[in-house]
Amino acid sequence: MITSSSLSFRRTVVSIPNGPSALAVKEAAWGLARYAAISQDNGLVPIVEPEILLDGEHGIDRTSEGILLKPSMVTPGAECKEKATPKKFLSSGQSEVEATLNLNAMNQAPNPWLVSFSYARPLQNTCLKTWGGRLENVKVAQDALLVRSKANSLAQLGKYIGEEESDDAKKGMFVKGYVY
């Protein structure tokens, strides 16, 4: 049984507009593969995530070029004029509703395996904004988390409709030039 204490997470960030160079891709792949092997040797389940930043005008085809590890939602750059629909291609920067719709679209196609999610912001963003660190907002923030959790649970089954979503959940989360 996999539990949260048996998981290990590693992220490598890639920027499309200025690269990446062939050497950067090779080194990132080597580092992620080595990390995964070390994790497995120590009884952990590695979560390996090469992350493509949203900054730029690149289209969906350039974003998904060469992605092999962690099948994830792939989106065009935030400034790309041509937006991809959930039917064409599918984390970060999307609104909570967009991410949930994309997860739903992935689960409406026949899959030989479970398609789930490993993103936190589409579950947490509205909740954290609602809570704002104030004790009096705890209950309403918990209610917001329950709404997001139910929506993503339905999306994992391919049964999410997207009705009755809050305006906050529809707002994108992209932050231009975000630094990790």
Active site residues: 49, 70
**How many Cβ atoms sit within 10 Å of the Cβ of residue 121?**
16
156-162 own/partner pairs: CB under 8 Å, 24+ apart: 156/103, 156/107, 156/114, 156/115, 156/116, 156/117, 157/107, 158/104, 158/107, 158/108, 159/104, 160/100, 160/101, 160/103, 160/104, 162/97, 162/100, 162/101, 162/104
Give the C-alpha separation, 170 to 180, whole Å: 24
Residues 6+ apart with CB under 8 A from 67: 50, 52, 74
Give the C-alpha separation, 48 to 29, whole Å: 10
Judge contact between 103 and 160, C-beta under 8 A.
Answer: yes
Give the C-alpha separation, 98 to 174, whole Å: 12
